[in-house]
Amino acid sequence: MPIKFPFVKKRKNEVSSHHPVGLNHKQIPKHVAIIMDGNGRWAKNRGMPRIAGHKEGMEVVKKIVRFASDLGVEVLTLYAFSTENWKRPRNEVEFLMKLPVDFLNTYLPELIEKNVRVQTIGDFDVLPPHTKKAVQEAIERTKDNDGLILNFALNYGSRFEMVNAVKQIAAKVERGELDTEEIDEALFSSELYTCDLVEPDLLIRTSGEQRLSNFLLWQLAYAEFWFTEVYWPDFTENHFEKALYDYQNRKRRYGGV
């Protein structure tokens, strides 16, 4: 059930004019990554099929994108489908692959209007054609926007990503373009899907699970983690605000003192 915070009042989804109590607007994390979890359990609790949870979850994505954009977050990475999620029942996988199409059908104009730039990380090539088409169109039509980067992790797996990076680097060494001695952290990072993005400052996971589930294993090395019991369809701007507030009250030491 949603956690209630003392300073948070119930309000409508549109919060553009709202300034959260206590949040320092000069210290908004640049990159927030979210593992949007708990859609299935949310639906089950209501006697509904799992896909009803995914549909509701999509509405929450819209709200949080609006809110993050208004707060001045630079990158919002959303874990939408993992390389392991193909194991799910076929009808659920099909529904999840249709979600980006529905999402962009109804929301692309607002994304364009809000100067949001859509990107993806993950193994894009093997997605169904209709999914690819919708996402590619959104990427193309928002490519010149310089506001929030809305980065969907779609068919994303961190281990797959890193193994691919190793292959790319090995191939360069084989071709004689690179010396083994030149391989360093920066070079490795440059072979990841996230090569053009700043590293995540804050990771949020909903639904009470406290694990990474193969998400951004390399990139999250020094991110702050924030967990909530709330299922993704119940996640609100208030929770996001609280996560940012807590983030701002952490001491990031990066191994120093």
Q: Which residues are catalytic?
A: 37, 85
CA–CA distance, 128 with 150 (Å, rounded to integer): 21
Give 178's strand partners. Answer: none
Residue list 10-49, contact with ligand IPE (CB under 6 A): 35-41
Amino acid at site 219: Q
The residue from 209, 222, 229, 249 that contacts ligand IPE (CB under 6 A) is 209
- 207 is an interface residue for ligand IPE by CB under 6 A: yes
Find the shortest distance in angstroms from Cβ 93 to Mg ion: 14
Give the tokens for residue 233: 């369809």
- Alpha helices by DSSP H, 72-157: 90-113, 129-142
Q: Does 234 bind ligand IPE (CB under 6 A)?
A: no
Sign of the CA dihedral running 190, 195, 196, 199: negative
How far apart are the C-alpha atoms of 121 and 45, rounded to whole Å?
A: 31
Measured from each CB, the residue nearest to Mg ion is 37
User: DSSP 3-state assignment of 120?
Assistant: strand
Rounded to a whole number of angstroms, the minimum distance from the CB of residue 25 to ligand IPE is 29
**Residue 234 near Mg ion by CB under 5 A:** no
Map the footprint of Mg ion across residues 19-38, applying CB under 5 A: 37
Q: Which two tokens stand for residue 102?
A: 């529905």
Nearest distance from C-beta of residue 56 to ligand IPE, angstroms: 11
Q: Using an 8 Å Cβ cutoff, are 202 and 219 in contact?
A: no
* Chosen from ligand IPE, Mg ion, none, partner binding at 85 (C-beta under 5 to 8 Å by type): ligand IPE
Q: What residues line the site for Mg ion (CB under 5 A)?
A: 37
Q: What residues line the site for ligand IPE (CB under 6 A)?
A: 35-41, 79-82, 85, 96, 207, 209, 211, 213
